[in-house]
Amino acid sequence: MPTHNRILYWFRNDLRLHDNAGFAAACEDATQVLPVYVFDPRQFRELAAIGVKKTGIFRTNFLIECVADLRASLRARGADLIIRVGEPSQILADLAETIDAQAIYASKEVTSEETDVESALSKRLKPLNIDIEFFWTSTLYHVRDLPFGVAKLPDIFTQFRNRVEKYAPVRELVPTPDALQLPDDVDSGDMPTLSTFGFDNALKSDVRAAVPFKGGETAAVARLERYLWEKDLIRTYKDTRNGMLGEDYSSKFSAWLAHGCLSPRFVFHEVKRYEQERIANDSTYWLIFELIWRDFFRFVALKFGTRLFKPSGIKHDLQKHWRRDFDLFQRWAEGETGIPFIDANMRELNHTGFMSNRGRQNVGSFLVKDLGIDWTWGAAYFESLLVDYDPCSNWGNWNYVAGVGNDPREDRYFNILTQASRYDERGDYVKHWLPELANVPADKIQVVSTLTRQQQTDYDVALGEDYPMPIVNPAKWMKK
C-alpha cells in the first residue's frame, strides 16, 4: 500500500531500472512518481590548472545516451523522465514543491561534490516540509551488510576482501517496477546536446577503439550478454585481463557500472548463473574479485572523505613534493613523451575515452614516479577523458599509483620497458596507436630512441620529426 501520494525520484549515477532499490521503493511507496534527471553545468566547467573540461566530450556524450535510454525505457512503461539543466538542489526543490511531493528519493553518493548537493537539497527541503531519503545502490556488498563499521574498514584490500567474502551476503536483485503512474502537467524538458555543454563539434568515433561505448542500460545488458553468454569470454578472463587490444580481453563493463546502467549485483548473479550452467573457474571468480576492488574504493572514499582528492592523499603524506611542470605534463597528456608504450596508451585515451587497466597503471606510474609530476593533475586529466570515470575508483587508484594510498604494499614502481615487453611483446599495441612506427621491428619498437640514422631511414621514421625524442632516458629501465 502506498504511504505517499507523490514522490519525486531523482536519478543520479543509478541510470537503470533493474535492481534499483531507490526507484523501486519510490514506486512502491507512492501512488505517483516523478522521475527526474538534472544535468549540473558545474560538472562541465573548465579545470583551469590543466586546461581541460571536468567532463570531457566522451563522457558527456555517453551520459546523454544513458539519460536518453532511461527516458525511452520509462516512456515504454507509460511514464517519462523529466529532464532539466541547472543547479540540482534548486531545480529539484522547486519541482517537488510544484507537484506537491511528500518526499524526494535518490541514490546515495559518497564523494564531496555529490554529498554537497545532497546537503544543499536537504536544506532547501526542510522549510517546505518535504522528506528526503537516500538508498544505497552502487556496490556489490550493501554498506549495511559490511562486517565492520566504515570507520574500521581494513586498510589492506586482501583483508577487506577476505572479510566481506566470508561474512557479508550479496543481496538478491530488487525487482524492476512495471506499473508506473506519472503526475501530469509537468513539462518533460528537452534532451540537451553536446553543444549545451559547450562542445562545438560532434563526437568523432575512432575505428581503432577497443569497443564502441554506447550509453544506457540497454547497451549495458547487451554487453553483459555478449561477454558472458554469446562469446563465453569470461571463461578465460583471468588469462586475458591484462591485454590491451580489442574488445575481448576484459569485460568493458566499467563505463556502464560507473553511470549505474549496470548493477554490480546483477553482474554477480549472472556470473553465478554462468558458473552453474557452464563453468566455474578462476576466471569467473576473478571478475567478481575485480568488482570487490571497485567496492573497496567506494568504501575507502566513504571513510576518508576529501583526503582522496588532495596531493597528500589518504595517507596524509605531507613529505612528498610534487612538481607542477605544465609543459612536461602536457607532453604526457598528449602522448608526446617519446616513450612508445606511454604514448600509445595516452593516444588511445585521447581518441576514445578508454584505456586498459594495464595502461592506466603504467602511464600513472610514469607520470608520478618518472616525471615526479603532481598526481592530482593526472587524476584530473583522467576524470576529464575517461568514459568510465568514477570518483572513487579513479582517485582511489591514483592514490595507490602515487604511493599516498592506505595500503603500503600498493606503492609499486613500474619499469616501463619491462612492462612493455611483457604486455606488448611484438609491439602490436604500440603500432595500433602510433602508425608512424609501423615499420619498426618488434625488438626495437619499445626503444625507438636508440635507432641509428640508418635504421631510421630503413624503418621510415625520423626521430624528432615524425616521433618525439624521449623526455626520460629509457636506459634507466635497461639497467634494472
Ligand X SMILES: Cc1cc2nc3c(=O)[nH]c(=O)nc-3n(C[C@H](O)[C@H](O)[C@H](O)COP(=O)(O)OP(=O)(O)OC[C@H]3O[C@@H](n4cnc5c(N)ncnc54)[C@H](O)[C@@H]3O)c2cc1C
Detail the residues annotated as belonging to a binding site: 237, 250-254, 290-297, 388-390
Helix (H, G, I), strand (E, B) or coil at 463: strand
* Minimum separation from the CB atom of position 209 to ligand X (A): 13
| Joined grid coordinates for residue 358 | 594495464
- Regarding 364 and contact with ligand X (CB under 6 A), the answer is yes
Instruction: Please list the residues that pair with 36 across neighbouring strands.
Output: 10, 82
Segment near ligand X (CB under 6 A); pick from 118-126, 172-180, 182-190, 359-367: 359-367
Q: Give the alpha-carbon dihedral of 229, 232, 234, 240, to 10 degrees.
A: -150
Closest CA to 252 of 292, 280, 285, 225: 225
- Regarding 265 and contact with ligand X (CB under 6 A), the answer is no
Site string for ligand X, 183-222 (x = CB under 6 A): ----------------------------------------
- Regarding 258 and contact with ligand X (CB under 6 A), the answer is yes
| Joined grid coordinates for residue 152 | 574500521
Residue of the chain from 13, 20, 138, 251 that contacts ligand X (CB under 6 A): 251
Beta carbons of 416 and 191 less than 8 angstroms apart: no
Closest CA to 99 of 19, 30, 168, 38: 30
Residue of the chain from 69, 270, 390, 424 that contacts ligand X (CB under 6 A): 390
- Regarding 252 and contact with ligand X (CB under 6 A), the answer is yes
| Range 105-132 burial, b when 16+ CB lie within 10 A, else e | bbbbbbbeebbebbebbbebbeeeebbb
| Joined grid coordinates for residue 100 | 506537491
Place of cell 576529464: 384
Beta carbons of 342 and 363 less than 8 angstroms apart: yes
Beta carbons of 94 and 195 less than 8 angstroms apart: no
| Joined grid coordinates for residue 395 | 582517485
* Minimum separation from the CB atom of position 375 to ligand X (A): 9
Beta carbons of 118 and 134 less than 8 angstroms apart: yes
Residues that constitute the known binding site for FAD: 237, 250-254, 290-297, 388-390
Segment near ligand X (CB under 6 A); pick from 4-12, 137-145, 168-176, 283-291: 283-291
Residues 284-303 binding ligand X (CB under 6 A) are 287, 290-291, 293-294, 297
* Minimum separation from the CB atom of position 449 to ligand X (A): 25
- φ and ψ at residue 133, rounded to 5 degrees: -135, 135
Segment near ligand X (CB under 6 A); pick from 34-42, 215-223, 300-308, 360-368: 360-368
- Regarding 250 and contact with ligand X (CB under 6 A), the answer is yes
* Minimum separation from the CB atom of position 376 to ligand X (A): 12
| Joined grid coordinates for residue 315 | 595517507
> Measured between alpha carbons, how far is 264 from 202 in angstroms, rounded to an integer?
31
Of the two residues 58 and 253, which places its CB atom closer to ligand X in the complex?
A: 253
Q: Are strands 30-39 and 4-11 parallel, antiparallel or unpaired?
A: parallel
* Minimum separation from the CB atom of position 436 to ligand X (A): 26
* Minimum separation from the CB atom of position 117 to ligand X (A): 20
Place of cell 604494499: 409
Residue of the chain from 241, 269, 310, 320 that contacts ligand X (CB under 6 A): 241
CA atoms within 13 A on the CB side of 15: 30
Residues 396-425 binding ligand X (CB under 6 A) are 397-398, 401
Total residues in contact with ligand X, by rule CB under 6 A: 29
* Minimum separation from the CB atom of position 412 to ligand X (A): 11
Of the two residues 103 and 386, which places its CB atom closer to ligand X in the complex?
A: 386
Residue of the chain from 63, 125, 386, 416 that contacts ligand X (CB under 6 A): 386
Of the two residues 34 and 267, which places its CB atom closer to ligand X in the complex?
A: 267
Cα 226 from chain centroid?
Answer: 20
Of the two residues 103 and 355, which places its CB atom closer to ligand X in the complex?
A: 355
Of the two residues 263 and 393, which places its CB atom closer to ligand X in the complex?
A: 393
Place of cell 526543490: 93
| Binding footprint of ligand X on the chain (CB under 6 A) | 241, 250-254, 257-258, 287, 290-291, 293-294, 297, 356-357, 360-361, 364, 382, 386, 388-390, 393-394, 397-398, 401
